[in-house]
Chain A
């Protein structure tokens, strides 16, 4: 602590006006603390402090078997639980050299896209609320509920599914799976324009977000900003395109790219991703093979051969990398997670310096931080 204090005192010739945003603050969306040095209302310097919700997931993984690890990965970025599950499962499958059935690949991708939409919906709620538009919160949650119902129907739980396991899926999806997703797409296509009429087109919203917190492509690459936040700056980092996995190689879709890199375009990138995800979902549903095979043949005890394995997937917030070092046992020797939010958080200082407190809230909202993913 004293080390950091010294840093801020050196940077700041007038250090008495420092406020702590967090760990309990409505707009940090969790237990994150920003130490903000202010000049009137203007942010001079910002130091993010994380670790308030550190649970030692990476260390815990070292004493758990691979199917058990899946349940911990849900708790990283709880809004993209499917993608997290998929990352570890794909890494284990890669190590064992197992080919999962085609149908499983499609279901995994479908669930990931659904999860992406649900995550972006909740982000939209929270972003609207950060900017003071409290009604957004209820509009977003209303539609997110429909997706959670689909998850409940097929996976048995609504938020932390642990549905994707090494070798396939936990169990088969509900017979109604395809139809309920088609119904959802029809429903959401009609209601997504409401989001635009409520927030996107609003003149106050535009003034609050345009040309704010501009992140150049170089900054995005230097800081490792991935996901929609990076793509809004023109950094083509979509893992689904760069290194396709599951069913993504079989279909053709658009990567949402903007070059402006301001808060408004980070917002726009996510809004467009919701539209694009629905297109992807339709394509996947059309191509999804029939049948009832939901898992590959797996040994009762999964032991990875000695070596190092890496797999990355695209979560709703960016690139999640899983790095497993195995010594041949049923538990990993070391498991390292490259989580997107951890990288995205530390660009905050660069983006917010010189802006107002209200802008700080808008910028941190546009980066879509999920705190348990930062602290692990």
Chain B
């Protein structure tokens, strides 16, 4: 296939071989770990900061405004300036707060989102860990974040924070089901949990096209549940500005607040990445079976562009929803999950099993 000319595996393998040939295997392993860690840290910070800027620009666009345009060209260094402001702010310690838990909570939240990003295939051969249970792994680590939110709300010694944290707990535990079950639809189609294999199984066409109605349904359920899982509007009950002032992070200031803020955006990126990888083909270019010329033309666009393009599309979808809809109430939120999304998902899985058994999808 044409896209293989952009394969980055030789590059990563050559770095790997270079390290192992010049260092003892223990040191080479450690050097590799450090290298990947640093690369991810920089990637994380850059993506997080620019997602904040993107959100402000999209929100401004939705609200007939211009958005940040003073610091740098089109406000490109606005969020960096904001980050420095947050770094210089005082970290207020709350009297009668549980100090240890209060300080540990932002790290749990940010580590959970950090771990998830590691398993995403960004382009062909650009993949930090390729687990054979990749989807399962991402779901498992990303849901650890709720522990951090619960701890933050509990340890703040603030009633608003506590209500926010409890809401968040109920919400994330419920929507975890829908996220898992909607991904299961594509897992049944493709027969794999490994993300690299999953992407390669979409070489002829993306699963959202191949899997037709159940896949499209699963995609929308996933985006809805994913939005809920990242605590973003219209499901931002944990923060619910107009009700709980700022929810679980009311008492946090300075860089600890920034950690929560960054983690929210990275969770959004993670959800969008998974949606793009599982439903929209990840880094795989758009291929239509039987149209060789078109497929070859699409292959000229590098996989990394495809990956970021698709992720950006899903992120825009989530921002669009956030800046258009009013917020749900907690009982309506749980009703939506347990009475609508979950039954839809379960029926969808039975239908998919039948479709796969009968072979009624585009192979």
Give A31 to B62 CA distance when docked, in angstroms.
30
Q: Which residue of B lies closest to A205 (CB)?
A: B326
- 0 or 1 for each of B233-246: is its CB under 8 Å from A? (1 = yes): 11011001111110
Q: CB < 8 Å: which of A137, A138, A142, A358 contacts B327?
A: A358
Complex Cα gap A19–B59 (Å): 32
Of A93-101, A124-132, A172-180, A311-319, which binds chain B?
A124-132
Number of interface residues of A (CB under 8 A): 31
Judge whether A356 and B325 touch: CB under 8 Å: no
> Within the complex, what minimum Cβ distance (angstroms) separates A144 from chain B?
13
In the bound complex, how far is the Cα of B58 from the Cα of A58, in angstroms?
48
Q: Which A residues from 340 to 376 make CB contacts under 8 A with B? A: 356-361
Name the B residues within 8 Å of A137 (CB-CB): 63
Q: Pick the contact of B245: A17, A26, A356 (CB < 8 A).
A: A26
List B contacts of A26 (CB < 8 A). Answer: 241-242, 245
Question: B159 and A19: CB pair below 8 A?
Answer: yes
Contact of B328 among A138, A142, A208 (CB under 8 A): A208
Partner of B326, one of A41, A132, A138, A360: A132
In the bound complex, how far is the Cα of B331 from the Cα of A199, in angstroms? 20
Closest to A25 in B: B245
Q: Does A307 contact B (CB under 8 A)?
A: no
Interchain CB contact (< 8 A) of A357 among B163, B241, B324: B163
What separation, in Å, do the CA atoms of A202 and B325 have in the docked complex?
Answer: 8
Q: Which residue of B lies closest to A26 (CB)?
A: B242
* CB proximity to B under 8 Å, residues A136-158: 137-139, 142
Q: Which residues of the partner chain A approach B26 to less than 8 Å between Cβ atoms?
A: none
Inter-chain residue pair count (beta carbon < 8 A) = 82
A129 partner residues in chain B, CB cutoff 8 A:
242
B327 touches A356 (CB 8 A): no
Q: Is B332 an interface residue (CB 8 A)?
A: yes
Residue A135 lies at the interface, judged by CB distance under 8 Å to chain B? yes
Given contacts A131-B327, A133-B325, A208-B326, contact A138 B63 (CB under 8 A): yes
Question: Cβ of B331 and Cβ of A356 under 8 Å apart?
Answer: yes
Q: Which of A26, A128, A137, A358 has the most CB of B within 10 A?
A: A358
Q: Which of A73-87 contact B (CB under 8 A)?
A: none
Name the B residues within 8 Å of A208 (CB-CB): 326-329, 332
- For B63, what are the chain A residues with a Cβ–Cβ distance below 8 Å? 134-135, 137-139
Question: 1/0 per position for B44-73, CB-CB distance to A under 8 A?
Answer: 000000000000000100111100000000
CB of A204 within 8 A of CB of B62, answer no
Expressed in whole angstroms, the minimum distance between the Cβ of A236 and any Cβ of chain B is 31
Task: Write out, one digit per residue, whether chain B residues 22-58 have a CB within 8 A of any chain A CB (1) or not (0).
Answer: 0000000000000000000000000000000000000
- Asked whether any CB of chain B lies closer than 8 Å to the CB of A207, the reply is yes
| Interface residues as binary, B312-347 with A (CB distance below 8 Å gives 1, 0 otherwise) | 000000000001111111111000000000000000
Taken together as a complex, chains A and B put the C-alpha atoms of A359 and B330 apart, in Å, by 10
Is A198 interfacial (CB 8 A cutoff)? Answer: yes
- B3 at interface, CB cutoff 8 A: no
Contact residues in B for A357 (Cβ distance below 8 Å): 163, 243-244
Q: Does B160 count as interface, using CB distance less than 8 angstroms?
A: yes
Q: Which among A134, A207, A208 has the highest number of chain B CB atoms within 10 Å?
A: A134
Chain A residues, Cβ within 8 Å of B330: 41, 356, 358
Min Cβ gap A11→B in Å is 19
Whether the Cβ atoms of B324 and A135 lie closer than 8 Å is yes
Contacts of A132 in B (CB 8 A): 233-234, 236, 240-242, 325-327
**Does residue A27 face the partner (Cβ distance < 8 Å to B)?**
yes
Shortest Cβ distance from B60 into A: residue: A138
Q: Chain A residues near B160: list those with CB within 8 A.
A: 19
Q: Judging by beta carbons under 8 Å apart, are B234 and A204 in contact?
A: yes
Q: Which of A17-35 contact B (CB under 8 A)?
A: 17, 19, 25-27
* Chain A residues, CB < 8 A from B323: 134-135
Shortest Cβ distance from residue A131 to the other chain B in the assembled complex, whole angstroms: 4
Contact check, B240 vs A17: say whether CB atoms are below 8 A apart.
no
Contact A130 B234 (CB under 8 A): no
Which partner residue on chain A sits nearest B244 by CB separation?
Answer: A357
A204→B331 contact, CB < 8 A: no
Q: Which residue of A lies closest to B242 (CB)?
A: A27
Provided the pairs A19-B159, A204-B328 are in contact, do residues A135 and B62 lie with their beta carbons within 8 angstroms?
yes
Q: What residue in chain B is nearest A28 (Cβ atoms)?
A: B242
> In the complex, how many angstroms separate the beta carbon of A230 from the nearest chain B beta carbon?
25
Question: What's the Cα separation between A190 and B330 when bound, in Å?
Answer: 36
Find out whether the CB atom of B332 lies under 8 angstroms from the CB atom of A207. Answer: yes
The answer for the CA separation of A313 and B166 in the assembled complex, in Å, is 47
A-side contacts of B233, CB under 8 Å:
132, 134
Distance in Å: Cβ of A169 to nearest Cβ of chain B: 34
Whole-angstrom distance between the Cβ of A308 and the nearest chain B Cβ: 43
Nearest-CB distance from A208 to chain B (Å)?
A: 6
Q: Out of A131, A142, A199, A205, name the residue touching B64 (CB < 8 Å).
A: A142
B62 and A358 form a contact (CB under 8 A): no
Contacts of B325 in A (CB 8 A): 132-133, 202, 204
A129 vs B240: C-alpha distance when bound (angstroms) = 11
Q: Which residues of B contact A138 (CB under 8 A)?
A: 63-65
Complex Cα spacing A157 to B326, Å: 34
Q: Is the CB of A358 within 8 A of B159?
A: no
Residues on B with C-beta less than 8 A from A202 are 325-326
A135 vs B59: C-alpha distance when bound (angstroms) = 8
Q: Which residue of B lies closest to A128 (CB)?
A: B326
A52-B203 Cα distance, complex, nearest whole Å? 66
Report chain B residues within 8 Å CB of A199: 326
Give the residues in chain B near A207, CB-CB below 8 Å: 328-329, 332
In this complex, the member of B236, B240, B241, B326 whose beta carbon has the largest number of chain A beta carbons within 10 angstroms is B326
What is the minimal beta-carbon distance from B282 to any residue of chain A, in angstroms? 32
- A41 and B236 CA atoms in complex are apart in Å by 16
By a CB distance below 8 angstroms, the chain B residues around A133 are: 324-327
B326 pairs with A356, CB closer than 8 A: no
Name 15 extra pairs, CB < 8 A, besides A132-B234, A133-B325, A133-B326.
Answer: A19-B159, A26-B241, A41-B163, A128-B326, A133-B324, A135-B63, A138-B65, A139-B64, A207-B329, A207-B332, A208-B328, A356-B330, A358-B237, A358-B327, A360-B243
Listed A/B pairs (21) with beta-carbon separation below 8 Å = A19-B160, A26-B241, A130-B242, A133-B327, A137-B63, A139-B63, A202-B325, A202-B326, A204-B234, A204-B326, A204-B332, A205-B326, A207-B328, A207-B329, A208-B328, A208-B332, A356-B329, A356-B331, A357-B243, A358-B237, A360-B243
Chain A positions within 8 Å of B, measured between CB atoms, are 17, 19, 25-27, 41, 128-135, 137-139, 142, 198-199, 202, 204-205, 207-208, 356-361
Across the A-B interface, the 6 shortest Cβ-Cβ residue pairs:
A132-B327, A133-B326, A138-B63, A131-B326, A27-B242, A358-B329
